[in-house]
Amino acid sequence: MLSKKSEINEIASRIIAVSALYPSNREFLDKCGITNHSLITDLKKKRIKNPGADILAKIVRGSGCSGSWLLTGLGGMFDTEADYVEEEGVSYVMIKGAISLIEEFEKRIEEADDAELTNELEVKLGKLLVRILERRGDKIN
């Protein structure tokens, strides 16, 4: 087990987890509007132990992750009620979140003994996919 001194700060660990959803640290930091392009490396190497409120706010706004989760670790990485993207394209993070949700549905469907429960999950997933395609169509037109 690691000693307290060698462990990475919990908030830093969550920032690193969010950044891992992006193709590169640079893309994550650019998306968040953070100009310190060594932030993730600095967090991993413990050169920065407690990122400031301005950095945390930029990460929440740029990545769409839950501010409560980022600060406390409670709840999910992404608010399930945050169903919006304020840009032209769909964010890579939103895609990864959707993939995680689909995987969770798939797991529950495989484990479910109740056909009614399985049907309900399939209907919800179908509705979600229709909404995504409709929004995509609105942005294309």
Provide the residue-wise pLDDT of the chain in tens; the chain has 141 residues.
444 455 778 899 999 999 988 889 999 999 999 999 999 999 999 999 888 898 999 999 999 898 888 988 888 888 755 444 444 444 555 555 566 666 666 666 666 655 555 566 677 777 777 877 777 766 555
pLDDT for res 49: 84
State how far the Cα of 55 lies from the Cα of 62, in Å rounded to an integer: 10
State how far the Cα of 94 lies from the Cα of 4, in Å rounded to an integer: 34
Nearest to 34 by CA among 18, 46, 45: 18
Nearest to 83 by CA among 27, 134, 141, 132: 132
pLDDT for res 141: 53
